[in-house]
Amino acid sequence: MKLKRRRQPPPQETIVSLIDVIFFLLIFFMLVGRMDATAPFEVSPPVSTAGETLPKGGTTIAVAEDGALALNGEAMARPALLARIRELRAQKPGLFVRINAHAEARLTNLLPLVTALEQAGVEDVVLVVTPHPA
C-alpha cells in the first residue's frame, strides 16, 4: 500500500537571522582586531615574555630590518620623521610613541633614534614586543 505523505509547505527563510549572525561577527572583529597603520615593509617584532600590556593609540614608528623608517605607515627618512615628531609633540605634549622594530634590525638603527626622540622632548617611548613568535 502506498501512503501519500502530505506535502508540507517549505519553511519561510528569514533574512533576520542572517543579519543577526553578521552583526555578531562584525562586533567580534571590531573588538578583537586593532586598527593600526601597517608599515610598507615587513616587520616582525622581537619575542619576549617579559613585556607589559601595550596600550591602545599612540604614534607608531616602524623600523625595518635594513633600517628603513616609517611613521604611522608612511615611509620617510630620519630627518623628516624627527621633524614630524616635533610637530606632533608641540600639538600634544604627552605624546606616546611606540617603536615597532624588526627583530633582526641592528641596534645602530634603533638606539640613536630613541636618543633623538628623547632630545625632541618625547617622554614616553616603548618598544613593541610579542609574547608569541609569529
Partner 1 sequence: MKLTRRKRNMALITLTPLVDVMMILLVFFMVTSSYLDLDMMPMVQSEAEGVAAPAGPAPTLLIRITANGEARLRGQPLTVQSLATALQDAPNARVLILPSGGANVQGLVSAIETATRAGADNLRVVRLEAPE
> Which residues make up the interface to partner 1 (CB under 8 A)?
15-16, 18-19, 22-23, 25-26, 29-30, 32-36, 38, 45-55, 63, 98-99, 101-108, 110-118, 122-132, 134
For the CB of residue 7, give the shortest distance to partner 1 in the complex, in Å. 28
Would you say 4 or 11 has its CB closer to partner 1? 11
Which residue is associated with the grid cell 635594513?
66
Q: How many residues does the chain have?
A: 134
- In whole angstroms, the minimum distance from the beta carbon of 122 to partner 1 comes to 7
The CB-of-75 to partner 1 minimum distance in angstroms stands at 18
Question: Looking at beta carbons only, is 90 or 115 nearer to partner 1?
Answer: 115
Which of residues 52 and 77 has its CB atom nearest to partner 1 in the complex? Answer: 52
Burial of 120 (0-12, 13-18, 19+ CB in 10 A): middle
N- to C-terminal Cα distance for the chain?
Answer: 66
Report d(CA 42, CA 75) in Å as an integer. Answer: 12
Q: Hey, what's the cell of 123?
A: 617622554
